[in-house]
Amino acid sequence: MTSSLHLNGRRGVQLLQDPLTNKGTAFTAAERDALGLRGLLPPRVFTPDQQLLRVYDSYKRKPDPLEKYIYLSSLQERNETLFYRLVLAHLEEMMPIIYTPTVGLACQKYAHIWRRPRGLYVSAQDHGRVKEILQNWPNPDVRIIVVTDGERILGLGDLGANGMGIPVGKLSLYTACAGVPPEQCLPVMLDVGTDNQALREDPLYLGLQQPRLRGAAFDALVDEFVQGVQVMFPRACIQFEDFGNSNAFRLLHKYQDRVCTFNDDIQGTAGVTLAGLLSSQRLTGTALPDQRFLFLGAGEAGIGIGHLICTALTAAGVPLDVARRQCWFVDSKGLVVRSRKDLVEHKLAFAHDEAPARTLLEAVERVKPTALIGVSGMPQTFDEPVVRAMARLNARPVVFALSNPTSQAECTAEQAYAWSDGRAVFASGSPFAPVTLNGKTHVPGQGNNSYIFPGVGLGVAAGEATRVTDEMFYVAARTLADLVTDADLAVGRIYPDLSRIREVSAAIGVAVADLAFRRGLARMARPADLGAYVRSTMFEPEYRAYV
């Protein structure tokens, strides 16, 4: 599907300045005459493929990942169709640029590389007029909103308004990976200040130079935003992204049964991790109900994964209390056990009767996990003794170092394979290159949320779902795992090749939309051919003819 936007009487420079209508040198001679473009462009008409050669050549000339990110951002700001044509033509090369790991550095530098506004900024100064701000957005048919307050950007902490790079990047993946039309996507920054003193003192910082808004005032602003979306964009799904732990769980629990919303850090990460665990069964030979999972990190990602694992286990017939007992957590103070008096609410379901353990290695020896999952944001915490202990306890130890960006990974792919004598089933949050060990090449899987959230969003948008449920992420995880081929597993990869991401997202979209219809959560009547309908909604980076 091409863009659904109409020209609405726009001509000439207006068309060139709108990235959704701009075709640049690809405007035909007839279009130039009819739309007042004659003379505003060089006289030669280029095909989209010729344009693609030019922009890819320019991209390759950029000296480092940050410069490549800046170039791609500028291209997206002037010609969305060409941007997505380029990204899809070189997806494996460009995914690490438009999102992790480069987006982390881009957010750190955001105020210094900023060129033009993208998305909406709702600040702590806007209480009482949020709906008015939402009305300023030019496209009324918004289906996916990604919103952050910038408090916990990847593993980098509080980046305040610089965190806008995350919603922008996430929504680029919605379109590139799942074909959600770009005009239906809206990035939002809730600028409630920052506790990062260095940012507040940066003269180029774009956000409010004040401490973070907390408590009732913060809640009131978020609630005004959520309620405003229901009025202005009633078919939109709100994705909460990179909020701090103190707010993420609370906001999800507050809104998930009231509006169409989810938290990708909690539920999307859970989905992609569960998919990896499901597909890894085919390598380890150990069924999910027979496994024990040890997490380093008990924040949004870890607890979210734990709950979704429990959903999968109960679906397999395991009682919930037994399922929870299969999930163990290590936080900054050691093993999460019932005797501790310092546990916050979201950890209590996974606090078990066991003696304390201060270190990760001690916890590994105590719990004897089949799978070790890192969501700590603490680099190099899966050290050699820990990985070797996992390899001693398991013929095929599952080691997932999921923290982003690459610099925050708990271990590298090379370390995991070397310290396990090539027996580890490894996945990471950011990409690692293949590793050759003792003559065998291992291709590490990337447990990137982009395998899950774009397809979920596609299904929610296509089916006009009123809610996003945990069951949708379970269905998405199962669908993703089923798409892993024997050829993938032969090289140790437990996720499909990234080149298949659109196929993956479409399959997940159909499964999620089907569930929405079966659960009575869809606003529309079920199409006769659901698969064909979902695929028909997907944006393709092709120019539309205007005359």
62 is catalytic: no
Q: What gap in Å lies between CA 113 and CA 70, rounded to an integer?
A: 7
Q: DSSP string covering 502-535, please?
A: HHHHHHHHHHHHHHHHHTT-BSSPPPSSHHHHHH
472: nearest Cα among 281, 268, 173, 276: 268
**CA end-to-end span of the chain, whole Å?**
18
C-beta of residue 284 within 8 angstroms of C-beta of residue 459: no
Report the helix count and the strand count for the chain, using DSSP H and E: 24, 14
Give the residue ranges of DSSP H helices in 405-500.
413-419, 453-462, 470-482, 486-490
Residue 313's φ and ψ, nearest 5 degrees, are -70, -40
**Residue 198, exposed/middle/buried by CB under 10 A (0-12, 13-18, 19+)?**
exposed
* Strands in 66-138 per DSSP E: 120-123
Peptide bond into 101 cis (omega under 30): yes
C-beta of residue 102 within 8 angstroms of C-beta of residue 66: yes
Which of these is catalytic: 23, 170, 417, 451? 170
Specify the amino acid at residue 453.
F
Tokens, residue 513: 């939309």
Which of these is catalytic: 84, 99, 110, 474? 99
Specify the amino acid at residue 161.
A
Which residue has tokens 């394979």?
Answer: 417
C-beta of residue 444 within 8 angstroms of C-beta of residue 432: yes
99 is catalytic: yes
Give the residue ranges of DSSP H helices in 316-452.
320-325, 360-367, 384-393, 413-419
For 150-161, give one letter per residue: b (16+ CB within 10 A) or e.
Answer: bbbbbbbebbbb
The number of angstroms, rounded, from the C-alpha of 210 to the middle of its chain's C-alpha atoms is 28
Active site residues: 99, 170
